[in-house]
Structure 1
Amino acid sequence: MSENPINILMVDDREENLLALEQLLEGPEYNLIKATSGPEALARLLEYDFALVLLDVQMPEMDGFEVAELMRLKARTKQVPIIFVTAINKDQRYVFKGYQAGAVDYLFKPIDPVILESKVRIFASLYRQRKQLEKEIERRETAEWELRREQNLFHQGPVVVFKWLAIENWPVEYVSPNISQFGYRAEELVSGEKTWLEIIHSDDRDRVISETGVLSESNRNFFEQDYRILQADGREKWVYVFTLVVRSDLGQITHYDGYILDITERKRTEKALEESEERYRTVTEFASDFVYWRTADGWMRYVSPSCLDITGYDPEAFYSNPHLIDELVHIEDRDLWGACIRDAETGVCHSPVEFRIMTKDREVRWVSHTSRPLRGEDGRLLGIRAGDHDITRLKTVEEQLRRLNSIDGLTQVANRRYFDDELDKEWRRSVRRRTFISMIMIDIDFFKAYNDTYGHQQGDEALRRVAAELAKTAKRPRELVARYGGEEFAAILLETDLESSAKLAEKIRANVEALRIEHTASQPLPVLTISLGVAAMLPKLGDESASLISRADKALYLAKERGRNQVVTLPGA
């Protein structure tokens, strides 16, 4: 990869001289910049970083000596080498004046191309070496600064760095100054006034010695330990110790390097949690609710035995698979479950949330879920305590009541209010899933004449028979038949396009006609018939369900206009 061209400033009040210099030096390694006067040269020097200045001595207004003297006055330009180019005098006193002004060399006209090129090449090489040296100095200064920063981080931070020898009592060879957080001076440990083994709590000392010996001899390169130490004032502190085992070329352990971190607060929190957990277990073992304790990293710390009664899984299943609790949630309720988890972690909401779960036997059950976050003294999230209460029986009763409130008393199909609610709900679902939703509007032909001829009691019986036939024909789970008002009925067909909906509508029409309900006032057949309007839509965000109703109603109007006892379809927008 070629180096970037270096800048060379050529200063001469005569263009032909500048052109001659340019022709002699032209090449990819130089960026030649010209100036025709002293002031212009000084301006260029402030604009660019130059490796060399070729400066004509004899110029009007400001000669080369003046330019050189001004260059030496500015920090930015005083180190730039100057070669004077002149044709007027080789006298030693004249040359000396140039050197006094700051020149490093002279070129006398007429210029010898070989001498010019060699001198320029030398100064270009020196420039590149200087730049490389400056970069190296900068790199080293940066590295030294980073090293000092890291040292300050260790010395002033919570982590104590150590090195102790693998001999009796573990004398300390180095410990960082921040050992002072435990009341000790680094000097008293390094001098041998105190050994690390003396600092370890007497109740933990034998264990630590034994663990260190076993772990070191097992050819491990590092190990971790938690134990207590005594501060200089006699108080005990829990520390986490990460230790590197250092061996000689012969494989013998010579010393240990590592770091120590105060974990007293963490240990205090863990102890409080253990005591709390024991109380928690005592209460929940006798509760019928499914109660659990989930840690911040998602694992189960405790699961009550009643989980078996509610989910079909025993506690061990939840311990071995921490995601089982999430997998149990009914697929349609998982967005709600996700929001519930987020709220529990932030403590925003403690209110019970109701959703469905799938048991091990694939049975759907309803639960009322409560949860709250557990936090340490420092505010850190430790986990979530939660409980699920089985409300399946309550939901069954609620559903029965809802059905009673949703059924038309005369025809025993869905009433108008239930129909409107279901249409609104399924419309939103179709928008989310990008699926078709269809509607059939149904009207009994000449029904007023039927009532006038046979009486209202017989008219009610006719409504019941027609409704029963509609419900029997449109009986799939994704089909809903409702009494829309008077002698009008409506059906919602989910995930069904216009063609399939039209086929079902024709089947309904034929089945009602086949009932052969006498209607002498009907034309042209003397039996009760129906007219049907069908519409289907693939709704998108912003569409309203009213547009589907309007299209189905328009199709029904056309069916009646065209002679009744027929099906008319109207595509969606």
Structure 2
Amino acid sequence: MNQSSKYKGNILLIDDLSDNLELFSELLLLGYNVRSITVSKIKSKTLRIKNQDVILLNINNPEINYYQICDSIKNYKHLTNIPIIFIVSLYDVFDKLKAFEVGITDYITRPFNMAEVVSKLETQLTIKRERYSLEEEVKKRKQIEEILNHSRALLLSILNSSLDGVAALQSVRHPKTKEIKDFRCLVVNPIFAKLFNRSQSDIIGKLGFKNLIAQINIDFFDDFVKVVESGESLQTDFYHPLGETSWLQFVAVKLEDGFALTIRDITPSKKFEIQLQEGNRQLQLMANLDGLTQVANRRCFNDYLEKEWKKHLQQQNPITLIMIDIDYFKLYNDFYGHQKGDDCIYRVAQGIAMIIKRPSDLVARYGGEEFVVILPNTKIEGGLMVADLIQSTISSFSIPHEKSTVNPYVTLSMGVSCLIPDGKTTSKDLISKADKALYKAKNQGRNQVINEEK
């Protein structure tokens, strides 16, 4: 309401000057902001007074037509909605019906009682305050509604232009058990609908999300239920071929008694990740493989032996090691040449690998023409059997070796050792024992297997 903080209200007094001074003074004394004008000012159509709350029309002249004055007041746009209170003589001929039709709000009879004037004024001021508050509230609500509509339109625009599938879903619970039996899709953008080969209208506001998600993975429904019941977010990648799309990612976040779901196409990044993993695997393989023989290299042997040693120390199981050397290989290399020498080493390595079947066993090139075999959870008897098989396999290859003094074909010397790890021994002890056994085999004529205990 247009009202200065130090006044009760702004009163426009239209008076023919007969008793202006008394009424004007009384209202001022009672705390109202009063402006007084004459009827002639109204008729001249030059009135510039604004921000009035109530008009008091006090005319004590039978020659003046009240109703015409009201019509004149209504011609001023800034006064159109301001309440008008007539002050009329008790004995005036006063057509109340016509007065209300031309726009008066109330009337007071003269001689007036000031308390009645104040009461009538306060009634109109209170009504106007309430109307002003209501108008302000309506204005605020309209502003909020406009903001919300704008926000909804903006959000809808963002959702519809998103490259990700986006949906908001509401839980549908069993009336008795309160368990979630399905979800209703409240919001669905075009990408989300397309992922399921549906239109938005086919999904929005309808049940059936359980069946919809089962097209991808039936277990996902229980995962989404867990999101709602526990409040824990869910992020998972999965393979699901859809044209050029093959890898998708779900991100589900609890939203009141439901959840918001984002489905993202991660095919390019996933393919890159897979390529990177494969590249790393190949690099790891290359780092652990001997380039010539394609069996494990010395580094791989060292790492694997240490790992198995610790495991066998905890479990107190035996671990066996076989050390292998190609007999008179230097003479072979000098006579046949390095290319033939490399071929010989490769064939021997592959022959040894043919015998080693268990995933836990390892064949490695120890250096030059030497090889090692790790046999986890194997006693010395098992190691000797494997060594004999290796010996007979290489013998069956009949690789010519004219410079050998023990056989016209390539042969092997082998040393076998076995230990149950304890706090007093290390993996180096196992290697040392096998090396000593190999030395004995070579020293005692080669082409044989020696147990470290002999």
Specify the TM-score bucket, using the shorter chain as the normaliser: 0.3 to 0.5
Using CA pairs below 8 Å that are at least 6 residues apart, which structure has the higher relative contact order?
2
**Normalising to structure 2: TM-score of the pair?**
0.42
Please tell me whether Structure 1 or Structure 2 has the larger radius of gyration of its CA atoms.
2
